[in-house]
Amino acid sequence: MSILLTGIGQLVTNDPEADDLLGTITDAAIVLDGGTVAWAGPASDAPDADQRYDLGGRAVLPGFVDSHSHLVFAGDRAEEFAARMAGTPYAAGGIRTTVAATRAATDEQLTSHVSRLVEEMRRQGTTTVEIKSGYGLTVRDEARSLAIARQFTEETTFLGAHVVPDGDPGEYVDLVTGPMLDAARPHARWIDVFCERGAFDGDQARAILDAGAAAGLRGRLHANQLGPGPGVQLAAELGLVAVDHCTYLTDEDVAALRDSGTIATLLPGVEFSTRQPYPDARRLLDAGVRVAIASDCNPGSCFTSSLPLCIALAVREMGMTPAEAVHAATYRGAQTLDRDDVGALVPGRRADLVVLDAPSYLHLAYRPGVPLVAGTWVGGRPL
């Protein structure tokens, strides 16, 4: 059953062959067939299809790819947020309060919580999401967090190295790289480390990523969020596909990202929610670094699931153009997950798309906070 969507005021294809960054087509149409894009182009050239919908001039974009989230948790830290807004600084150790609540929750409670958040993301246009563990921090709780995440996405990330829960850090690294990794591996595609003062240092991060690679998991890294550190250069040296946060960067860090091709994933919802300085996306882009945007949805430092909000923040606070920000939240996000089946609306890619109640993608940044997503389609079907 093929479907023709016509009456598209502006179609963002992200076609890498196009002259403009987003491969935009005005007065466009798209044909979806068997869950993938069969054709995209000017409406006047559109082929026939079994079914036809007129979108009345709305804009259509590739579904957002949220390459960084922490959705498996229990508990609520709204009071901690209020305290932070009253002047208490954010520190990595706040994670421990969520760890206690997550360990105490049943599988059913955790599953229903993830389900609610994934639904919330989809209503805001996210069609691919990466989900990390990291609030269990025992062999049992990390494995079950990943098994639950796997029910919602293939892009699951083992983050046993989120924070040292208690005891000796060296012994905890041995646990993460040993029995915990063995238990996590069947449910995970990626491995991640919070490389930051108060969490794990560069040597520990390297040991954990090496152990993960030996077990068949690909590396990602939280780095340079709260201050300068070794994480970004480690990511570049190891050839990781992405390194996330990148708020405090030296010139050497920027050069390492440029030379390695490692994508810098910026998470502006975090700086918004913690009143920290934003990363300088303009500096990275001007240096030739590839930049992605993700939500970092988590209960502590950033409890937003909204990529439209992150796009607006990236434009208004990080020096990105609206086109760069949309590209970063779709095409680049897909690249950070090493996915070439999503992130663009060109023939052969998955028919994951967002319909905006607006004539162009510019409205995502121009009208911040407005619920512009009129529809989200996943695999050629409307939700």
**Which residues of this protein are in contact with Zn ion, per CB under 5 A?**
296
Question: Whose Cβ is closer to Zn ion: residue 202's or residue 347's?
Answer: 202
DSSP 173-206: HHHIIIIIHHHHGGG-SEEEEEESTTSB-HHHHH
Shortest gap between Cβ of 16 and Zn ion (angstroms)?
28
Shortest gap between Cβ of 291 and Zn ion (angstroms)?
17
Shortest gap between Cβ of 68 and Zn ion (angstroms)?
6
**Are 236 and 257 spatial neighbours (Cβ–Cβ below 8 Å)?**
yes
Shortest gap between Cβ of 119 and Zn ion (angstroms)?
21
Alpha helices (H) along the chain:
78-85, 95-104, 107-123, 139-150, 169-175, 181-184, 202-214, 231-238, 251-260, 268-274, 281-286, 307-317, 322-328, 331-336, 363-366
Give the three-class secondary structure for 216.
coil
Eight-state DSSP code of residue 3: E
Question: Whose Cβ is closer to Zn ion: residue 58's or residue 222's?
Answer: 222
Question: Whose Cβ is closer to Zn ion: residue 152's or residue 194's?
Answer: 194
Residues near 71 by Cβ (< 8 Å), separated by ≥ 6?
113, 114, 117, 118, 129, 131, 149, 152, 297
For residue 20, count other CB atoms closer than 10 A to its CB.
10
Shortest gap between Cβ of 267 and Zn ion (angstroms)?
7
What is the distance, to the nearest Å, from the Cα of residue 330 to the centroid of all Cα atoms in its chain?
Answer: 9
Cα(325)–Cα(313) distance, integer angstroms: 9
Question: Whose Cβ is closer to Zn ion: residue 271's or residue 296's?
Answer: 296
Question: Whose Cβ is closer to Zn ion: residue 46's or residue 297's?
Answer: 297
Tokens of 58: 């709305």
Cα(87)–Cα(34) distance, integer angstroms: 53
In sequence order, the β-bridge partners of residue 36 are 33, 350
Residue, CB closest to Zn ion = 296
Shortest gap between Cβ of 51 and Zn ion (angstroms)?
40
Cα(131)–Cα(297) distance, integer angstroms: 9
Question: Whose Cβ is closer to Zn ion: residue 296's or residue 352's?
Answer: 296
Shortest gap between Cβ of 25 and Zn ion (angstroms)?
35
Shortest gap between Cβ of 270 and Zn ion (angstroms)?
8
Question: Whose Cβ is closer to Zn ion: residue 40's or residue 267's?
Answer: 267
Q: How far is CA 156 from CA 67, 259, 350, in A?
A: 10, 28, 19
Question: Whose Cβ is closer to Zn ion: residue 132's or residue 350's?
Answer: 132
